[in-house]
Amino acid sequence: MPLAYIALGSNLGDRWTNLTAAVRRLRAEPGSRVVAVSSFYETPPVGGPTGQGPYLNAALAFETDKSPEQLLQFLHTIEHQFGRVRTVQDGPRTLDLDLLLFDDRVIETPNLVVPHPRLHERGFVLVPLDEIATNVLHPVLRKLVSEIRQTVSTVECVVAQSPPVATGGLQDLRALVTGSTSGIGKAIADQFTAQGATVITHGRRPGGENHIIANLRDLERIDQLADEAWGDGLDVLVCNAGADTLTGEAASWSFDQKLDELLAVDLKATIRLARNLGARMKARGRGVILTVGWDQAETGMEGESGQLFAAVKGAVTCFTRSLAMSLAPEVRVNCLALGWIRTAWGETASPVWQDRVRRETPLGVWGLPDDVADAAVWLASPLARFITGQTIRVNGGAVR
Mean pLDDT, rounded, for 79-96: 79
Is 135 a residue whose pLDDT tops 70? yes
Q: What share of the chain is helix, strand, coil (3-state, %, to 5)?
A: 40, 20, 40
Q: Active site residue: 25, 33, 93, 174, which one? A: 93
- Residue type, position 50, single letter: T
Mean pLDDT taken over the chain: 94
Q: Check whether residue 193 and residue 150 sit in a common domain.
A: no
Is 227 considered catalytic here?
A: no
SS3 assignment, position 158? strand
Task: Round to the nearest angstrom and report the end-to-end CA distance of the chain.
Answer: 31
Per residue in 144-192, pLDDT (tens digit) is 999 999 999 877 889 998 887 666 689 989 999 999 999 999 999 999 9
Is 272 considered catalytic here?
A: no
Is 93 considered catalytic here?
A: yes
Domain around 39: 3-159
Rounded Cα gap, residues 363 and 351, in angstroms: 18
Is there a domain that residue 54 lies in?
yes
List b or e across 8-37, with b for residues whose CB sees 16 or more CB atoms inside 10 angstroms: bbbbbeebeebbbbbbebbbbbbbbbbeeb
Is there a domain that residue 169 lies in?
no
Is residue 3 within 8 A of residue 62, CB to CB? The reply is: yes
DSSP code string of 9-72: EE-SSSHHHHHHHHHHHHHT-TTEEEEEE---EEE---SSSTTPPPEEEEEEEEEESS-HHHHH
Q: How many domains does the chain have?
A: 2
**CATH number of the domain where residue 229 is located:** 3.40.50.720
Is residue 289 within 8 A of residue 323, CB to CB? The reply is: yes
Is there a domain that residue 331 lies in?
yes
Rounded Cα gap, residues 10 and 54, in angstroms: 8
How far is the CA of 270 from the CAs of 277, 278, 319, in angstroms? Answer: 11, 11, 9
Closest CA to 35 of 6, 9, 10, 70: 6
- Residue type, position 392, single letter: I
Is 130 considered catalytic here?
A: no
Is there a domain that residue 129 lies in?
yes
Q: Check whether residue 21 and residue 81 sit in a common domain.
A: yes
Phi, psi of 108, rounded to the nearest 5 degrees: -145, 100
Q: Check whether residue 109 and residue 144 sit in a common domain.
A: yes
Q: Active site residue: 15, 33, 98, 174, which one? A: 98
Is there a domain that residue 72 lies in?
yes
Per residue in 221-240, pLDDT (tens digit) is 999 999 999 998 999 999 99
Q: Check whether residue 241 and residue 385 sit in a common domain.
A: yes
Q: Active site residue: 24, 65, 84, 370, which one? A: 84
**CATH number of the domain where residue 74 is located:** 3.30.70.560
Q: Active site residue: 15, 25, 96, 122, which one? A: 96
Mean pLDDT, rounded, for 257-276: 97
Is there a domain that residue 167 lies in?
no
Is residue 113 within 8 A of residue 132, CB to CB? The reply is: no
Longest dimension (CA), the chain: 71
Is 196 a residue whose pLDDT tops 90? yes
Q: Check whether residue 103 and residue 207 sit in a common domain.
A: no
What is the number of H-type helices and E-type strands within the chain? 12, 15
Is 341 a residue whose pLDDT tops 80? yes
Cis omega (within 30 of 0) on the bond before 115?
A: yes
Q: Check whether residue 24 and residue 155 sit in a common domain.
A: yes
Report the predicted TM-score, pTM, of the whole model to 2 decimal places: 0.88
Is 46 a residue whose pLDDT tops 90? no
